[in-house]
A and B are shown apart, each in its own frame.
Chain A
Amino acid sequence: MTDAATATAPVKRRTLSGMNPAVGVATVVVVIMAVIYLVGGKDQGLVTQSLVSGLLLGGVYALISVGLTLIFGVLGIVNFAQGAMLTMAMYIVYALSTAGLPVYLATVIAVPLMFVFGMIVQATLLTKLTISGSHDGPLLVTLGLSLLIINVLLMIFGGRPKSVQAPIDGSVSILGAVASWPRVLAFIGAALVAVALTAVLKRTPLGLSIRAVASNSEGAKLVGVDIGRVYALTFGIGAACVAVAGGLMTPFTSLTPSVGEQFTILAFVIVVLGGLGSVVGAVIGGLVIGLVQTVGALFLPGTGSLILVFAVFILVLFLKPEGLYGARR
């Protein structure tokens, strides 16, 4: 018994790391779901509902995390303002929609606005610190920026919860589970952003210079890449991603100036889980965390599901410290 266990363990580990992480994660998820369906002792419709809700919630998490993973992976900046930037994007969409624009059109306008905002923030506040390689500098600057954004929003909009109605309301039935249209659209948006971002990184000259700067900024500078510009563009893209996230989330979120804060920590968990700088990793990580949180809530009420999220996080880091899609450094 003991011999067999020790004999199989290394084999198992080899297959785990050799496999495409997506296949591995999918296998684990399918096995766990099968177990829950068969012996979980829960109503089947309820399990399906939690599965669908979890995937949709995971899509939202993924959307918030892809921008963060880019900033984290390329610039090495721990961007504590990610949640506040998300809130800022939501309020831009709110302001535009109270002016009469439909939410999704307002989102399209908010994206370039946030892109420019991100570029300005990086160029004015962060580039010097990034080049000097300081770690706590950017951390403090983004923390300060986060406080500034939250309090300016509080000053302008007040703290009363605001809401935005989606032009497409109602819900759709997926395998007997109910999913609201705005959440489905957010999920589709997350998938599109992930595909578009991967394409930009892999197939455009900009993507090439971003990847070059990410892997060796000194070398990139020597071959003539304007790294200050790449830094600014990268932060801008990160900000544009949260703009998409914020816009797609406004129809099902109550807006208060601190609403984005709760996502910051989860987004970091997802980014590290997926592997620093990996867009695909952020998407898979987001989906996994969404599923764990929602399906876990069936068995562990209250904060229990969040504890489960952190348990999975620690487990993955233990088995694969570089994250699902991270390169070994």
Chain B
Amino acid sequence: MKKLVGVLTAVAVMGAAACGSSSGSDDSGSIKIGSVHPTTGALAGVGGLMNDGAALAVADINAAGGISSLEGRQLELVSGDSQGKAEVGQSEAQRLIDEGAVALVGTYQSDVTQNVASVAERSRVPLVIDVAVDDKILDQGYQYSFRMQPNASSMGTDGAKALAAIGQQTGQSIDKVSYLHIEGSFGDSVFNAFEAEAANQGISSVQEITYPATNFSDATTQVREAAVSNPDVIVATGYYPDGLLIAKAVQQLNLKVKGVYGIANGAFDDSSFPAAAGAAGEGVLSANYHFDATSERTNEIRGRFQQQFGRPMETAAMLSYQAVEVIAAGLEDGKDTDPEALRDAISGVSIEDPLLAFDGPIEFDETGQNKNATVIVMQVRDGAVAQVFPAEFATDAIEFPVGAGQ
């Protein structure tokens, strides 16, 4: 039995090695980077943007002369469609690796990313996560996965800190909050981290209200319930459609709150939100990772993206762009297209001047998490999303309290 296991392991290792060498040894043509995103299904909108973001990065790097330490070899993006499903994402990742991708970027959803990360680990191919918030993904002790954005618990924690700081800066007391969040590991982990940190920040009570991830088409009951405890602020964590419903319900119910504050909220800092929400959106705050609107390079890339694809480049697409840059930096530093060598190089990269509003260069700790990932606070001001906190990233002054609570 032991022998059999040994033989099987040896075969598996040889198989993996053969796969690895087949992709690494092809040193004449372009270097393939696999992109796994939901380009069909409910999340096709953002998934398509992300794929375009990665494609734009590849085109930019190629136009600038490719990977110079590898004699200017060009990059090539090979795309896979996860359809928003974990098992499809997994098989697509496997397909891209079999086709010779030396690294992967993806995937937007935490559960899909979890499966793709396990494929990356097994195949010994680096995965640079552009968007996927769940802490659990990197808690597995994976060696081949890297994440640039903050994880769920740090977003909850930083969100609580930023809220307290905003209260202090504007001279408003924030004692009680009601927290609405989507059911599931994403909402739970952000909420739990927020609740723990809120206590440290002097926020005395946090009321929790959850709503289902499916068949949620009216938020009035949940928002009314949130109002029962007379909160100073309503905090919300979830995706686009539910975030929009919540903002509209707060306005309809004419709640006397000082503000609506999203943490890792998919709606409140999306460029289509102010128009969709109308008056209900004005003044809504959102703590999230975000492209750096104060950076010239970011704005230049966003401008070209809009021109080429006819749609605004949302933060998620900017992260896909940046993920490709991380891989390119790894190729440049490591001077090798072998996925394992590339992994080692990526673990040591330091990217100054990130395109996101981060507190320093992109550098990965031993778990693969970007050490300097932070959230910043945005606010809808005059029908557009502006960065308002902290001061170093602010493009507009913060307005607080807002709306009916003034």
Contact = CB atoms under 8 A, between A and B. Distances in A.
Interface of A: 43, 45-46, 49-50, 53-54, 56-57, 60, 151, 154, 158-163, 165, 169, 171, 178, 180, 183, 252-254, 256-259, 261-263, 266, 293-294, 297-298, 301-303, 305-306
A178 B254 contact: yes
> Which 6 A-B pairs have CB atoms at the shortest separation, nearest pair first?
A159-B45, A159-B44, A163-B276, A302-B183, A160-B45, A302-B210
A54 B220 CA distance: 10
Contact of A253 (B40, B217, B220, B275): B217
Contact of A159 (B46, B183, B217, B228): B46
A180 B277 CA distance: 14
Contact of B222 (A154, A252, A266, A297): A297
A172 to B, nearest CB: 10
Given A45-B224, A159-B45, A171 B272 contact: no
B217 A57 contact: yes
22 contacts: A46-B228, A53-B220, A60-B217, A154-B40, A158-B44, A158-B48, A159-B45, A159-B48, A161-B241, A171-B252, A178-B252, A180-B248, A252-B245, A254-B244, A256-B45, A256-B241, A258-B42, A266-B215, A301-B210, A303-B183, A303-B213, A306-B212
Contacts of B311: 158, 160
B7 interface: no
A306 B45 contact: no
Contacts of B40: 151, 154
A169 B225 contact: no
Given A163-B276, A252-B248, A254-B240, A154 B44 contact: yes
A160 B43 CA distance: 8
Interface of B: 40-49, 183, 209-215, 217-218, 220-222, 224-225, 228, 240-241, 244-245, 248, 252-254, 270, 272, 275-276, 278, 311
Given A53-B218, A252-B248, A302-B211, A258 B41 contact: yes
Contacts of A259: 241
B214 A262 contact: yes
Contacts of A162: 272
Contact of B272 (A60, A154, A163, A294): A163
Contact of A163 (B42, B211, B222, B275): B275
Contacts of B252: 171, 178, 180
Contact of B225 (A46, A158, A263, A303): A46
B218 A254 contact: no
